């Protein structure tokens, strides 16, 4: 049953089946024509799409090789004919800036607080919590959003809406930060004067809102939203083709290089996209956010300077890597006519995914066929097409549709049943494979435990290790230590199996016995306090 996974082969088979439905009696091979005219691919860089980008040229070659003129082409001509260019969706490139920035802020906070055990930057947790309580789509179980709205109305606070993480994918972290930074004094006043469920949050929101490090990082995120991610999002949405990316990428990289040398230029310098009209803010709310940045000074210039250095260094490296194909020397640096039809993003697909997601939330039990019909009707503007037909033709179309309805309903029910059985079968197969893996792991763990018995069992400390090793030859010493390491990995599971402490070599170089003994000593200490 196809369609229960997202493999590249499944996608191609479903696509072929769909295109072949267009076949008619004239003998036209739509599938072959479609494939051979496919020269560009827009992806979100997920593993399935990466695999698909590799498979498409192979499929085109199979089709082309059946033509009698194929062997008459030169190698260069053949390669050109089957080539498929793969382009990354620029909205996803922007979205993937978020984890880069979060990691940079975490590194900055670890250094500033001298705490390497931190898992997330406090600013990220703070923004999550504020959006959870004050966001446009805050859960009804919280009374905070209504109270916040009333507070803002009575204090004549403009642009009081805080975006929500829920239901958004692109640039949302920076947009939330911009809103919170603009409303900062009002949020602090609301928090201090009114006892709400915000006081029961995961963190002390009141303290975080007055923490110099958090405020500096918040300021930085708001600036990035105003000068980098916000304008790039608008350029992506407003540029008709991907060919415009070269100039925009160059402007951004040159800007980040300047900031890398002079960090405070991010706050007071020349913004990277000021020369591009499509990048300008158009809403009063966004303009207010930018104007606010001109009037607010950093809480601590030294802290924000350090934060900018951390973030911009990582962003520069990220952008140079992701935009390399469009810069000088890159594959897509010189725009050609066959690239002018390539969009900057797969926003249309993303909007369909969003529509599908909202439909699931409204009607979770709806049949797949009905969802399919609803989406195709909306995307293809079927009712507009239908209304434009003459009355007589509309009646004919409606009559034919009603006559086919019962069969379509029965087919959809059958497909739903088949899909359900296929999913259940796949689940059982996965369980069977998981059970096999569990048995294998159990067997290997027992084997590892049995092997250490010949040298006194599992060693508890360095003293016991030394006593046992003193009586062994060099070869047997190494084997005994490796057996103990393997026992910690498979039987005791002292750490994750991927820990370097379990490795017998590094970069294809075998570790010496001293290194292995030190690693084992560390594992014994961890096991003792576990």
Instruction: Label each residue of 349-378 as H, E or C.
Output: HHHHHHHHHHHHHHCCCCCHHHHHHHHHHH
- Is the pLDDT at 146 greater than 80? The verdict is yes
What is the model's pLDDT at position 94?
A: 86
Single out the residue in 33, 59, 87 at which a domain terminates.
87
The Cα–Cα gap between 251 and 274 comes to 10
Write out pLDDT tens, residues 372-425: 899 989 989 999 999 999 999 999 999 999 999 999 999 999 988 998 898 899
How do strand 505-506 and strand 509-510 relate by DSSP bridges? Answer: antiparallel
Average pLDDT over residues 436-459: 96
> Residue 350's closest CA among 204, 195, 170?
170
Q: Which of 87, 117, 133 is the last residue of a domain?
A: 87
Asked if residue 142 and residue 115 are part of one domain, the reply reads yes
Average pLDDT, the chain: 89
Q: What's the number of domains the chain is made of?
A: 3
Please check whether residue 63 lies inside any domain of the structure: yes
From the centroid of its chain, how far is CA 503? 31
**Structural domain harbouring 48:** 1-87
Phi, psi of 356 (to 5 degrees): -65, -40
- Same domain as 293, residue 216: yes
**Domain end marker among 316, 336, 356:** 336
Segment holding 85, helix H or strand E = strand 85-88
The pLDDT, as a whole number, for residue 336 is 66
481 and 501 both lie in a single domain: yes
The segment with the largest mean pLDDT, out of 124-128, 164-168, 277-281, 349-353, is: 124-128
For residue 451, the model assigns a pLDDT of 96
If one compares 421 and 27, the residue with the highest pLDDT of the two is 421
Residue 43, strand partner residues: 88
The residue among 222, 223, 229, 209 whose CA lies nearest residue 122 is: 209
> Is residue 150 a part of any domain in this protein?
yes
């Amino acid at each position: 049953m196809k369609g229960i996974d997202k493999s590249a082969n499944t996608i191609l088979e479903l696509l072929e089946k769909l295109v072949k439905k267009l076949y008619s009696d004239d003998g036209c091979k739509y599938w072959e024509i479609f494939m051979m005219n496919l020269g560009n691919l827009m992806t979100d860089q997920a593993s399935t799409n990466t695999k698909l980008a590799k498979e498409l040229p192979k499929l085109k070659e199979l089709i082309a090789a059946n033509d009698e003129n194929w062997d008459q082409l030169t190698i260069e001509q053949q390669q050109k004919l089957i080539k498929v260019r793969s382009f990354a969706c620029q909205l996803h490139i922007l979205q993937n800036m978020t984890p880069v920035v979060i990691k940079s802020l975490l590194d900055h906070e670890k250094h500033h607080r001298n705490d390497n055990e931190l898992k997330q930057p406090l600013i990220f947790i703070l923004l999550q919590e504020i959006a959870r309580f004050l966001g446009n789509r805050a859960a009804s179980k919280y009374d905070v959003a209504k109270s916040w709205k009333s507070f803002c109305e009575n204090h004549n606070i403009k642009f009081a809406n805080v975006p929500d993480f829920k239901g958004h994918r692109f640039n949302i972290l920076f947009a939330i930060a911009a809103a919170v930074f603009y409303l900062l004094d009002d949020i602090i006043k609301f928090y201090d004067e009114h006892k709400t469920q915000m006081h029961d949050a995961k963190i002390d929101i009141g303290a975080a809102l007055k923490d110099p490090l958090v405020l500096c990082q918040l300021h930085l995120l708001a600036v990035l939203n105003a000068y980098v991610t916000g304008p790039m999002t608008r350029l992506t949405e407003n540029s008709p083709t991907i060919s415009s990316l070269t100039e925009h990428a160059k402007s951004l990289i040159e800007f980040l290089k300047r900031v890398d040398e002079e960090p405070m230029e991010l706050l007071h310098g020349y913004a990277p996209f000021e020369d591009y009209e499509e990048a300008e803010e158009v809403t009063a709310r966004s303009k207010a956010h930018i104007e606010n940045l001109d009037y607010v000074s950093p809480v601590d210039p030294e802290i924000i300077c350090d934060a900018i250095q951390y973030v911009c260094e990582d962003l520069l490296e990220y952008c140079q890597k992701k935009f390399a194909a469009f810069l000088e020397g890159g594959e897509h640096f010189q725009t050609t006519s066959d690239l002018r039809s390539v969009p900057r993003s797969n926003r249309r697909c993303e909007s369909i995914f969003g529509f599908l997601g909202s439909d699931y939330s409204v009607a979770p039990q709806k049949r797949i066929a009905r969802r399919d019909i609803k989406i195709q009707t909306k995307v293809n503007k079927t009712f507009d097409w239908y209304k434009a037909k003459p009355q007589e033709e509309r009646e004919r179309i409606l009559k034919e549709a009603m006559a086919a309805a019962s069969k379509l309903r029965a087919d959809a029910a059958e497909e739903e049943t088949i899909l359900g059985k296929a999913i259940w079968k796949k689940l059982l197969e996965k369980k069977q494979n998981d059970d096999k893996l569990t048995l294998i792991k159990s067997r290997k763990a027992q084997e590892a435990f049995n092997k250490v018995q010949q040298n006194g069992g599992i060693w508890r400390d360095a003293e016991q290790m030394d006593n046992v090793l003193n009586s062994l030859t060099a070869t047997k010493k190494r084997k005994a230590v490796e057996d103990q390491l393997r026992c910690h990995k498979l039987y005791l599971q002292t750490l994750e199996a991927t820990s370097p402490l379990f490795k017998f070599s590094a970069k294809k170089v075998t570790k010496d016995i001293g290194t292995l003994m030190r690693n084992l000593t560390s594992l014994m200490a961890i096991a003792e306090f576990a």
